[in-house]
Chain A
Amino acid sequence: MKLYNAPSPLETKVVSKRFGMENSWKLDTYLATGGFEGFKKAMAMSCDEVINEVKSSSLRGRGGAGFPTGMKWGFVPRNTDAPKYVVVNADESEPGTCKDRLLMEHDPYLLIEGILIAAKAVGASKGWIYIRGEYRYLVDHIDAVLKEAYQRGYMGKNIAGTGFDFDLYTQIGAGAYECGEESALLESLEGKRGVPRIRPPFPAVSGAFQAPTVLNNVETFCAVPDILRNGGKWFADLGTPKNGGTRMVCLAGHVNKPGVYEVPLGMNMMYFINEIGGGMRGGKKMKALIPGGSSCPLLRADECDIAMDYDSMAKAGTMLGSGGMMVMDEDTDMVKVALRIMRFYKHESCGWCIPCREGTTWLQKMLARIVDGNGATRDIDLIGDLAKNMLGRTFCPLGDAAAMPTISIVEKFRPEFEAYVAKNPFASSELVQVA
């Protein structure tokens, strides 16, 4: 399988270490390169020991929310004979993100081994890889890999002779960003509309088919085999304190070498863009970037000299998110960016709750009007106000995801909105504030 972009010598390859190897997705390749050693180690450990190993790695969810993985596994109730499940979130839909695709394509056994270790840690018997419908080729790919795994005794009964039983299936989605939200994904897995569930209960207690469920992103599971193999501390030490390990960053936009790269957490963002990403395309100046998928507040170029880890990003008022980094040069029309982002969230809002359903629609219409040259000064204030009125009040984080980038764009690039409005001769009117 060919790589879509050349790797960089500055990467630290953990989950991507097999990328580019011949037949990297084959079991024999996997076994020849240390595959299933982590799983075998886990089988010799108690459930608590496995979970503690993961906790000590300070691995945090790679899907976007960054919740500590070991802690999440620890929430699954013990002392119950009820079935438990493992679900993989491979619904990779956050704009800017294209890493899980590569992991499943190039190293599916790494994901499978990570799933098996999670299953062992919580006593799960069955699992599903929920893959977004657009990645149909990956469903076929993983199905073929699973067929081999079953035939070779690495899935099903008595896995690798350890006495451990587990069944794993693919589940195809059908086009819905919202299904990347874990409880919506579970609804979809049950054959329903991808509308999120009321939480609590969280999936660890009541997840797939109302059974206790471990649910993590593809990359998160992929980090687990090496954590078991080399120890949690080894992984943690790759990154910065509380931000263990490496992560895949999907670099896109106006850079010379866009691509998916694996870097240690805590790498300086400008270093990443300039040294790995090859700097700005065409010698342009950088204007802004979206650091981790379109749900994240944008950073101006002057705000980007920071470490890429969960805590530093939070301090800068944004998030590491799903690792989808989109870099924009000086010529980028930020009003159009705001509109395109809102169009996306309006399209993907599930419609369940009022502020998100109506808010995204209203904002999209207003932004479109401004771009069309019919905006008014009051609209600029209203955009920020409405986005804030969605923030923290919607049923699920999609409303926040729509609000956060919008608020940041209006705040940071207000003159661009004013320039649009200035072209409209009927632009002046004051905004009425909702007290």
Chain B
Amino acid sequence: MVKLTINEIAVEAPPGMLLIDAAKLAGIEIPAFCYYEGMALQAACRMCLVEIEKAPKLMAACVVPVAEGMVVRTEAPAVVKARKTTLEFLLTNHPLDCPVCDKGGECELQDMVFKYGVGESRYTEEKVHVPEKQWSPVVFYDGPRCILCYRCVRVCGEGMGVGALGVVNRGINSEIAPSHGDHLECDECGACIDICPVGALTSGAYRYKTRPWEMEHTGTICTHCSNGCKTTLGVRTNEIVRGNNRDRSGINGEFLCVKGRYAFDFNHHTERLQTPLMRVNGKLEEVSWSRALQAVVEKFKAGGKAGVIGSTRISNEEAYLLQKFARTTLHTNNIDHHRSGDVVTLLDSLSGKSATLGTADDCYNAKAVLIIGADLSQQQPFLANQIRANYRHHNAAVYVATTGVVREDKIAKSSVRNTETDWLTGLHSMREKLATEPELLVLFGDAVKGEGVRNLVAFTESLGIPVKYICLVDYANSRGAMDMGLLPDLGPGYHAAEGTPGLTLPEMMAATDMDLLWVVGANPLKRHKFASEKAFVVVHDMFLTETAQRADVVLPAASAYEKNGTVTNVCGQVQRLKKAVETVGSKTDLTIIGLIARAMGVNLGKVDADAVFAEIQKTVRGYNVPLPVIVTGGAAQTMPVNGRVPSTVLPELIQSSRDTLFTTGSLTKYSKILNDVMEAPGGLYR
């Protein structure tokens, strides 16, 4: 450790640490705009100038590493004056339109001027004015507000690997410019907007909607892909107006893709169902909750051949309760959901082996990463971001085996192209290189399933190095749906279900003799034809989907942003869903199941999210995770199953939707933002 003195305080810091970070360790703030942890150094804003003994002039703390015996003063009169004058320079051309600026109230420039600046301006010349520009449906740029800290350029280039922002012109005319002259073609992730310390970059979704202090903020888990990013929803008058994660509270830090940041808008879509619907004389009509539930209960009590299809977006608690109710009350194993990755075979293949499941942290820390059959930056944006950061910060070795060009190729040590089915040949061609790595994290998509998973495990085991695996799946709780036992042959925790295995989803669809089909938050009719004309179909959903249109009773369901509970991400990390907005007319699936149970006189125990999770902790293998971690908004890694999984799963059932950055399954249709940005082909930035 290096010993130095900052403001007369003795500080110890690891060698190579930058002074600005070492000061932070000691609780001393050195203000800065351009310095941003994890990104390239700029030394451009000059706010972090400090006095270092023996140095001929003030030094930028963001580029000076600590040195033994260094004596630093961050509040020396010269430093204080330098800050004041730098802010004075900065404000000369800044428009000071704070009262109408979106950033007002959470603007770093405001804060800095408040804390370090002078109260009066000596600038009496004309300010440089340039009109505001719109670069995409979600990105607006107001040049005069821009302080040229280059954070946006770096987060787009280094962080996202897109490089859609640059600096054009020179001197006072320098400004940030988008990739295509007057507009952006990019991931539309909005990271540039969030990272902007001032109101230069503003969001098309949020601008002029509210002042920051008028919002309530709720950190919950994004409902779109399986990565499990924390999105902090800003809510004003029961409407979500913003999503971001500036407090870095989740596994994702401040990373969010376009969906996590903007695609909450489905929640307030005009087509959201607010009243139960019941088929009366062949037509769906609005009815009261009690009448709808009564109809459902009658059919449920009547018995017959029943099938239950759960969702990959409902909470663990809902999935757990759904299968419990189906198995114990409807007495059926005809339970399934849309499966997008072969987690089951992976768990079985790892039985008795030392290899384990990888986490989002592993994506950032593993010395080597192998990506098979997935366009990661399009389909698993956060994991892709972790891998890019791993490459940037740790120089990780990245290997890619995909059917087409992917963004990860740019950072890959080795890339091979393969066919959809034969990816193993490609792996063999990289074998020698892979075997020299100290460890390996493998991420694989739905191309690898069934026997393929076993072959993959055999291949990687034969490398003789420690290996971890992430089996990629589609949606926010795709993994939880499996863990909770929404499967015909396996119950919660991958225990064999009691009795004979039930029908799979395609089998239920194809069966002509189903009497009852209960679909909770899924839309199987989008892909399948439902053969049983006589079946009474009950659907919980937010929208009148293809499946809901076939229903006899449609129960309006709450969205993930309207409920409490937990979901499990692609890596098996359990996190808490926290209700951000109140439902309007709809109810959570948990509540609906509870109401049906009560009406049927079935005792499911206490039906609230916490109580059901307590039961999950006790009964689902791997879920006995420390509650405080989850309750405080953390991510708890579920323990991987180690032991045979008695699966009878057919690999052909596994089929990813292969959503892109701009699609999210059935919800795509209801997100205006996603439809607006879809014109911008983010795939260009492979």
Instruction: Tell me, yes or no, whether A binds B.
Output: yes
Seen from chain A, the residues whose Cβ lies within 8 Å of a Cβ on chain B are 176, 193, 198, 346-355, 357-362, 365-366, 369, 382, 386, 389, 392-395, 431-432, 434-435
Residues on B with C-beta less than 8 A from A349 are 170-172
Please judge, given known A-B contacts A362-B92, A393-B58, whether A357 and B174 are in contact too, CB under 8 Å.
Answer: yes
B125 at the interface (CB under 8 A from A): yes
**A434 contacts B125, CB within 8 Å?**
no
Please judge, given known A-B contacts A354-B44, A361-B92, A362-B123, whether A176 and B85 are in contact too, CB under 8 Å.
Answer: no
Knowing that A351-B174, A357-B174, A434-B118 touch, tell me 17 more A-B residue pairs with CB under 8 angstroms. Answer: A193-B170, A348-B171, A349-B172, A351-B171, A352-B44, A352-B148, A352-B174, A354-B90, A358-B172, A362-B123, A382-B122, A392-B57, A393-B86, A434-B88, A435-B81, A435-B84, A435-B118
Residues on A with C-beta less than 8 A from B172 are 346, 349, 351, 357-358, 360-361
| Minimum distance in angstroms from A433 CB to a CB of chain B | 9
**B44 contacts A434, CB within 8 Å?**
no
A358 to B46, CA, bound (A): 12
**B125 contacts A392, CB within 8 Å?**
no
**A354 contacts B86, CB within 8 Å?**
yes
**B46 contacts A395, CB within 8 Å?**
yes
Q: Per-position contact with A for B32-67: 1 when CB-CB < 8 Å, else 0?
A: 000000000111111101000000011000010000
Please judge, given known A-B contacts A198-B41, A358-B93, A432-B120, whether A393 and B170 are in contact too, CB under 8 Å.
Answer: no
Residues on B with C-beta less than 8 A from A431 are 122
CB<8 Å pairs between A and B, sample of 14: A176-B170, A198-B42, A351-B148, A351-B171, A351-B172, A354-B47, A357-B89, A357-B171, A358-B92, A392-B58, A395-B44, A434-B85, A434-B122, A435-B84
Task: With a 10 A CB-CB cut-off, give which of A350, A354, A365, A394 has the most chain B CB atoms.
Answer: A354
Q: Which residue of B lies closest to A379 (CB)?
A: B124
Residues on B with C-beta less than 8 A from A393 are 46, 49, 57-58, 82, 85-86
A365 to B172, CA, bound (A): 12
A434 to B125, CA, bound (A): 18
B126 at the interface (CB under 8 A from A): yes
**B89 contacts A354, CB within 8 Å?**
yes
Please judge, given known A-B contacts A358-B90, A362-B89, A434-B84, whether A353 and B171 are in contact too, CB under 8 Å.
Answer: no
A354 to B84, CA, bound (A): 12
A434 to B174, CA, bound (A): 27
| Minimum distance in angstroms from B645 CB to a CB of chain A | 51
Q: Which residue of A lies closest to B89 (CB)?
A: A358
B173 at the interface (CB under 8 A from A): yes
Residues on A with C-beta less than 8 A from B93 are 358, 361
Residues on A with C-beta less than 8 A from B85 are 355, 386, 389, 393, 434
Residues on A with C-beta less than 8 A from B148 are 351-352, 354, 357
Q: Per-position contact with A for B139-150: 1 when CB-CB < 8 Å, else 0?
A: 000000001100
**A351 contacts B122, CB within 8 Å?**
no
| Minimum distance in angstroms from A331 CB to a CB of chain B | 29
B458 at the interface (CB under 8 A from A): no
Q: Pick the contact of B122 from A347, A369, A392, A432 — CB < 8 Å?
A: A432
Please judge, given known A-B contacts A358-B90, A434-B84, A434-B118, whether A353 and B125 are in contact too, CB under 8 Å.
Answer: no
B531 at the interface (CB under 8 A from A): no
Q: Pick the contact of B44 from A353, A432, A435 — CB < 8 Å?
A: A353
Residues on B with C-beta less than 8 A from A362 are 89, 92, 123, 125
**B63 contacts A198, CB within 8 Å?**
yes
Residues on B with C-beta less than 8 A from A193 are 167, 170
A289 to B434, CA, bound (A): 68
A366 to B86, CA, bound (A): 18
The 9 closest A-B pairs by CB, nearest first: A351-B174, A389-B85, A358-B89, A365-B125, A392-B57, A349-B171, A351-B171, A361-B172, A353-B44
Task: With a 10 A CB-CB cut-off, give which of A176, A394, A434 has the most chain B CB atoms.
Answer: A434
Residues on B with C-beta less than 8 A from A346 are 171-172
Residues on B with C-beta less than 8 A from A392 are 57-58
**B81 contacts A434, CB within 8 Å?**
yes
Please judge, given known A-B contacts A432-B122, A434-B81, whether A389 and B89 are in contact too, CB under 8 Å.
Answer: yes
**B170 contacts A350, CB within 8 Å?**
yes
A346 to B171, CA, bound (A): 7
Residues on A with C-beta less than 8 A from B171 are 346-351, 357, 360-361
A386 to B125, CA, bound (A): 14
Residues on B with C-beta less than 8 A from A198 are 41-43, 63
Residues on B with C-beta less than 8 A from A360 are 171-172
Residues on A with C-beta less than 8 A from B118 are 434-435
Interface residues of B in 72-91 (CB under 8 A from A): 81-82, 84-86, 88-90
Residues on B with C-beta less than 8 A from A395 are 43-44, 46
A347 to B172, CA, bound (A): 8
**A353 contacts B81, CB within 8 Å?**
no
Task: With a 10 A CB-CB cut-off, give which of A347, A350, A351, A358 has the most chain B CB atoms.
Answer: A358
| Minimum distance in angstroms from A427 CB to a CB of chain B | 13
| Minimum distance in angstroms from B494 CB to a CB of chain A | 52
Residues on B with C-beta less than 8 A from A365 are 125-126
Q: Which residue of A lies closest to B169 (CB)?
A: A351
Q: Which residue of B lies closest to A391 (CB)?
A: B57
A247 to B58, CA, bound (A): 33
Please judge, given known A-B contacts A198-B41, A358-B92, whether A351 and B173 are in contact too, CB under 8 Å.
Answer: yes
Residues on A with C-beta less than 8 A from B45 are 353-354
A358 to B81, CA, bound (A): 17
| Minimum distance in angstroms from B41 CB to a CB of chain A | 6
Interface residues of B in 93-152 (CB under 8 A from A): 93, 118, 120, 122-123, 125-126, 128, 147-148
A365 to B89, CA, bound (A): 13
Residues on B with C-beta less than 8 A from A366 are 125
| Minimum distance in angstroms from A141 CB to a CB of chain B | 28
**B170 contacts A355, CB within 8 Å?**
no
Residues on B with C-beta less than 8 A from A357 are 89, 148, 171-172, 174
A355 to B81, CA, bound (A): 13
A393 to B82, CA, bound (A): 8
Q: Per-position contact with A for B386-424: 1 when CB-CB < 8 Å, else 0?
A: 000000000000000000000000000000000000000
**B46 contacts A355, CB within 8 Å?**
yes
| Minimum distance in angstroms from A145 CB to a CB of chain B | 32
Q: Pick the contact of B125 from A347, A352, A369, A435 — CB < 8 Å?
A: A369
Residues on A with C-beta less than 8 A from B120 are 432
Task: With a 10 A CB-CB cut-off, give which of B63, B123, B126, B170 has the most chain A CB atoms.
Answer: B170
| Minimum distance in angstroms from B42 CB to a CB of chain A | 8
Residues on B with C-beta less than 8 A from A361 are 92-93, 128, 171-172
Q: Which residue of A lies closest to B170 (CB)?
A: A351
| Minimum distance in angstroms from A171 CB to a CB of chain B | 20
**A355 contacts B174, CB within 8 Å?**
no
Residues on A with C-beta less than 8 A from B170 are 176, 193, 349-351
A347 to B174, CA, bound (A): 11
Q: Per-position contact with A for B153-179: 1 when CB-CB < 8 Å, else 0?
A: 000000000000001011111100000
Residues on A with C-beta less than 8 A from B86 are 354-355, 393
| Minimum distance in angstroms from B21 CB to a CB of chain A | 16
| Minimum distance in angstroms from A283 CB to a CB of chain B | 41
Q: Which residue of A lies closest to B128 (CB)?
A: A361
| Minimum distance in angstroms from A90 CB to a CB of chain B | 21
